[in-house]
Every structure is written in structure tokens, then in C-alpha cells.
Structure 1
Amino acid sequence: METAYFDHAASSWPKPPEVVSAMQDVMLHYAANPGRGSHRMAVQASRTLFEARRNLAKLFRIKNPNDISFTLNTTMALNQAILGFVKPGDHVVCTAVEHNSVRRPLEFLKQTRGIHITYVATDSTGALTVDEVRDAIRPETTLMVCSHSSNLLGSILPVAELGQLCRDRKIRLLVDAAQTAGTLEVDVVQMGIDMLAFPGHKGLLGPQGTGGLYVAPDLELTPLLYGGTGSQSEAIEQPTVRPDRYESGTQNTVGIAGLNEGVKFVLHETVEQIHKREWNHTQRIMDALMSTNGVTVLGPQLGRDKTGIVSFNVHQADSSEVAFILDQSFQIAVRAGYHCTPLAHATAGTMDRGAVRASVGYYTSDEEVDRLITAVREIAKHLG
């Protein structure tokens, strides 16, 4: 029996065939350095990167594709945004469901630059009120950081309203789209997003080792990396032109070629239809698990909008034990533990044992959903 994969919130799998073909095509025919030469292979590599930027700009409603810089993942993008923007003495507002990729850079700056941080509480399901964020803002607040959706609870935060609040208060907004890029509509202009960090390997259906950061045209960051960019090589300083300023070193042409095809796939299928498909799966899972004795489901209640994540616990069992049984006895892949987001687990009241996270994706089938429901019910019966 083939494994039923419910770990899309970590990395989507399988990938569209076009993604695999594009990556193979680079390796076979033009695996040269983009932006570093004028021969035809290097030019083709550069074109691939620009096409990917252009398609990402179309997806996120970004006016200038060059405002997107490629990174290895969302974590690197968030570090570039946070470390490149926040200055000593600044005050930063973020939420109590943030990933460690936000929390750890901020806490590092608290120790090294003397910044101040306010974590705005959500309710136990991950819901956030804009009024509480407004109350947390101080005169020295310069940045609001917010995950578009919690990677534990699947709750969707009111980014557009936060964007308007930040515009009114002249505060920059950084959005972590790790769980929403490719599965929820993102319009950086209408939503007031100044910086958008996103992965290539989740909802965009690209390979691991890809991601990016959008930076608003009127915003300048201190680069995270310094080095060769293929432009202004005679200068000692890092180039000011984008995207070179934030892209030192050879880029992952193979991975970005795959990412480009993943983005094209999302554009063709449409984010709206992908979200609807995932939502239907999550509702079926939630409905079944909520009616199963001994199973506690976290996050927004049935019928509420959310991303493709269903986190749960079974009786008093440790989440790792449940995940191990699902893998070894039922060939179902889920993620257990703390999901690099202790803040969200503290919010949900699951710091004692973590949670089992089942996350769906574009390729999740009804049959796989049935297998998961049946397996969890059997485990609950056995452990009860």
C-alpha cells in the first residue's frame, strides 16, 4: 500500500510532472550561472529566473517582478526582512501564533540591538482581533509581523485589515505566507503588504530549497548576504539595483525552474479552486474526528474558513506516539510535536504533548481522507 501523505504544510508532495521535467531540462541542457555570462546557456538560465519572477508577480499582484528576490526558503526570507529592517530601539508587534522563523530572529535582535517586542494574543483557535493589535502599537513601533495562517491551527489572520491599520500608523507590515502562498489569494497592494516571505516547496508546488521575499519599492533593507551578484562588479559596495542587492551568489536555477512550473500550475488551476478543494477535505476530516470519542480537534470550528490543516490529539496520548502508529501501522504520513511554533501551542494549550497535524494538498484524494479517518478512529478506540 502506498503512503497516504498528510504533511503538505511541511512540503507538498507529489509535485506536478511539469516541475520535475523543468528541473531535469535545466540539468541536461543549460545548467550555467544565471546573470554571470553572455553565452546562450547563461542567458537561458537568466531567462528562467526572470520568468519565475514574472509569474510570482502575477500571482501576488506585484507590479515589478524585480522587487522579488529568491531565497532558500521562507526562513531565510523572514531573516532578510527582519534583520535587514529592524533598528536598535525599534518596537515590533507580532502575534502569539508565530513560527520560530519569526520569533527567533526577533528575540535575537532583542538581545543584540535592544529592540522591544509585543506578542498580541489570539484566542485558542488562533483568531485575532485588529483592536488588540491597535492597542499594542507604540510611538516607536516600526514593524508588524504576522503569519497569514497559523501552521498549527490553520486559522487565517485578517491581513488586509492589519495592512490598513499599518498604513494609517505608518508602520511596515511583514507577512509570513508559508502556509498560504498558492492556496489563498494574496494581493500585496490591496492588502497593504510591505514585505511578503513565501516558500516554493509548499502551496506553490515547487522543490525544496526555493522561496522568496517581496520588498515594496519604497523600502530598502540591509542585505543579509554580501558578495558576487554579476552586476556592478567593479564597486566595493553591494549593488543597489534589485534583485541583485538581495541575491549574492549563484542562484538555484534548477530549483527555480521547478518553482516556475509550480507557480504556472497554480495560476492555471487558480488559487480559489485549490483552496476550495483543500477546504472540502479539511471539513470532512474535522467533521469525522470531532464526532470521534477521545479526539480533540484544534483551530477554527467546523464551517469556518481555514487553510488545509487539521491538528488534533487522541485521548491523553503523546502526539508522537499517535503519529508513529499512523506511519507504522497504517502507512499514513503526518507531522507530530511542536511544529516549530511553541507560541501557537501555548495558545492552544498543547505544550504538554504537542499535536498531530494532518495537512492536505492539491493531490490529496477522497480515498486518502477516508483512510486517515478510519485509522484515527481505530487508534482512538484502541487507546481509549
Structure 2
Amino acid sequence: MNDVLYFDQAATSWPKPPSVMEAMLQCMQEYAANPGRGSHQMAVKSSRILFEARKNLAKLFGVRNPNDISFALNTTHALNQAIKGFVKPGDHVICTNVEHNSVRRPLEDLKAKGYIELTYLLHDAEGNVRIEDVRDALRPNTSLVVVNHSSNLLGSIMPVGDIGELCKRHGARLLVDAAQSAGVLPIHVGDMNIDMLAFPGHKGLLGPQGTGGLYIHPDLELEPLLHGGTGSQSESIAQPTVRPDRYEAGTQNTPGIAGLNEGVKFVLGETVERIHKREWELTQLLMAGLLEIEGITILGPKLGQNKTGIVSFNIENADSSEVAFILDQSFGIAVRSGYHCTPLAHETAGTLATGAVRASVGYFTKEAEIKTLLEAVKEIQTQYV
């Protein structure tokens, strides 16, 4: 393990539980054959691991049928499958100003082609969207509402359950981007009226990169994003109708999913409530320390308010990329700077010209590491303020 202090958990969690790496290595050594493509024992073992991972994800997210969860490369892949597989010509879609480009870009592409109408909901400085604004934006042809559960810039948490109830009454479907909340915040797709849930494996679920997935409500049928071999209904020229095969063309990332399965098992054992409490306490410690430094501005919810483990900030007169570079090169501290793939959120926050430094904590972050980060920021601050 290297000696970098890692505060880029919102991009990819690190380190991983040892069981994640052990499961991946075991898969490569013992049964890394194609799942669902053969009847020999290695292929059967691969298939069983994939189903076990689906079952554990279903348990975590309150999904009744594990086969309603299809694996994806990442949240971006899952979101594109959800959006492009669901909307029809003439549909109206609502999303928020704090959405990631993984939502904004596919929607804007469909809008530019004259396929959909699109409405953005404004948020306040702390990243909150009013439920009244969602209600007012609904139209007779609104088919889909897309919201991120937690902003990857501000750490704010959306009232997904309230939005889901509103969508249900209106007859619209709700797609939730759980990039920053899966494994960190409680999610129950039934109780929250979530119709589609896109999630990453490599963040709060503590799995490897190249893993993720999409929950699809059993009443929904999406047009597959990819067509190809599935190992089922091979005699048909059309993509299979059975789930999850319909949405999983090609060989799946069995070693990665084996690791993801162990990450999900770790989260289930610790519980998301305990994980969120730990990350919130670390976030409050970081925010309190930053607020004691002259010339620091923190974006998003204020100290004491609920949020995920993301603290985005700026130093007066300093470029965010330069601050991140100094933290890395002079102090061995990894953070993220720039626009975080969410320029509309920066525009509303007033940081479109500067971007922001994002320090994000995880379950394994230590208080001593936060103290070191604060000391480094204070030293850098003296150069600018």
C-alpha cells in the first residue's frame, strides 16, 4: 500500500476490504470461465457467483427479484441503458441542475435530435430541490424524472422518496442515479417508488472499477442498449426477453463481480446506517476545520446538516486545480479539482470560473488523515490570502 492520503472516495473508493481482492484472485485462479455459456463446473461456478451478487444487491436495495438487476460497466453505462432504453419520441423528461454529465449528456443528445422535451429544475446554494418545483414541472407527456440521490459536488441528499411518491401519482417513472449513495445511504426501491436505479460497484459498494448495475422495475421493458450473445434463446435473431439476459449482451466481468459481491457483503455486514454515520462524522470534522481557516468557502449543505462524505471548497484567490496539484505534489494528498462532470451545479454555486477542490471521505478514512489535510490546506492558504 502506498503512502498517499486518499481523499478522492467520491470518484473511486480506496482501499477495498481484503475480501474483495481475495475473491477476485480466487475467481481468476479457479473458475474464470464464461457464466451462462456452458454446463461444465467452472461455468456453473461463475454463474452462481453472479447470481449470489444479484441476491446480495437485491437485499441491499429492497429488490424482490434479483433478476431485475442487470450488471453494467459503471453508472454511466447503466444510466444510458435506462434513459435511451425507456424514452419515446415526444416524451417530456425532468432532471435537476445538479445532475452528472452521465445524465445530462444523453438527455441533451436526445433533445438535440428532437426526440424529447427537457426541463431542468433549479437547486439552491446547498443543492436542495423543492418538491413543489418538481410538481410544477410535470406535464401530461412527462414520462421520466431523473434525479441523483446525492450530488457529487455538494454532497446534498435529494428527497427521493417524496419525488417517487409524486411521480407515482402522476404516472411518470423515476430514475435515480445512486453514484454517491449506493452503499452509503439507505435505499429501498419499493418504499421509495424507484422505477430504475443506476449504481456503481467501485464507490460506496467497495468493489472494483468496471462494475455496476441497473435495477429495472418488473413492469418496465427497456429497449436494450446492446445486442449480442447472451447464452439464452440463441436460436432467436432478437435479443432475449428473459431477464437479466436481455440487458447483458456479451461476457460479463466475472472477476469484477466476484469482488463486487464481497464489497456488498461487507456493506450489508456493517450496515449503511453505520457507514453513513461514520462518514458524516468525518465530514463534519473536516468542515469544522476548514471553516477555521481564513478565506475558505465551502459548497453545499452547512455544518451540522445531513450530507454524504463530500466536502467541496475553494481558497480565496486560488485556482482549484493549482491547489489540488500542490496537495498532491507537496503533501502526498489526493483530492479532485475542476468541474467534477457537473457544470450546471457549478454554475448555480457560482464556481463556474474557478471549479472547486473536492475532498471526499470514506468508511476507512482516519481522523489523523483529516488533520493532516487541514494542516496542508492552511499552509497553502497562506500563499493566497
Shorter-chain TM-score tier: over 0.9
1:141 is matched with 142
One-letter identity of the residue aligned with 1:95: T
TM-score by length of 2: 0.99
Partner of 1:106: 107
CA distance in 1 between partners of 2:132 and 2:375 (Å):
42
* CA drift at 1:128: 1.1
Residue 57 (structure 1) aligns with: 58
Q: Give a deviation string over 1:34-55, Cα, whole Å, max 9, x none.
A: 0000000000000000000000
- The answer for the alignment partner of 2:288 in structure 1 is 287
Map 1:338-349; keep pairs closer than 5 Å. 338-349=339-350
Aligned structure 1 segments of 4 or more residues deviating by more than 2 angstroms: none
Native 8 Å contact 1:87 1:113 kept in 2: no
> 2 CA distance for matches of 1:150 and 1:316?
25
Structure-2 residue corresponding to 1:211: 212
d(CA) in 2 for partners of 1:374, 1:382: 14
* Aligned match of 2:275: 274
Q: Which whole-Å deviations, capped at 9, do the CAs of 1:224-276 have from their partners, x for residues lacking one?
A: 00000000000111100000000000000000000000000000011000000
Shift of 1:291: 2.0
Structure 2: distance between partners of 1:373 and 1:156: 25
Q: What SS does structure 2 have at the residue aligned with 1:66?
A: helix
Q: Distance in 2 between matches of 1:45 and 1:248?
A: 16
Aligned-partner SS, 1:288:
helix
- Counterpart AA for 1:152: L
Displacement after TM superposition at 1:343 (Å) = 1.0
Unpaired stretches in structure 2, ≥5 consecutive residues: none
Report the counterpart of residue 236 of structure 1 in structure 2: 237
Once residues 67 and 155 of structure 1 are traced to their aligned partners in structure 2, the CA distance between those partners, rounded to angstroms, is 28
Alignment of 1:109-124 (within 5 A): 109-124=110-125
Q: Which amino acid aligns with 2:93?
A: V
Counterpart residue number, 2:309: 308
For residue 345 of structure 2, give the secondary structure of its aligned residue in structure 1: helix
1:360 counterpart residue number: 361
Equivalent position amino acid for 1:306 in 2: K
Contact 1:337 1:355 in 2 (8 A): yes
- Assess, with a 3 A threshold, how the Cα gap between structure 1 residues 331 and 344 changes in structure 2: closer, same or farther: same
Measured in 2, the distance between the counterparts of 1:114 and 1:249 equals 28
Aligned to 1:372: 373
Q: TM-score, normalised by structure 1?
A: 0.99
* Alignment partner, residue 319 of structure 1: 320
Q: Tell me the secondary structure at the aligned position of residue 313 of structure 2.
A: strand
Q: Please give the residue correspondences for 1:182-193 in structure 2 after superposition, counting only pairs within 5 Å.
A: 182-193=183-194
Q: In structure 2, how many angstroms separate the alpha carbons of the residues matched to 1:354 and 1:316?
A: 12
Partner of 1:220: 221
Once residues 362 and 47 of structure 1 are traced to their aligned partners in structure 2, the CA distance between those partners, rounded to angstroms, is 29
Distance of 2:332 and 2:348 partners within structure 1: 31
Match for 1:183: what amino acid?
V
The alpha-carbon deviation at position 114 of structure 1 amounts to: 2.7
Aligned AA (2:245): D
RMSD: 0.7
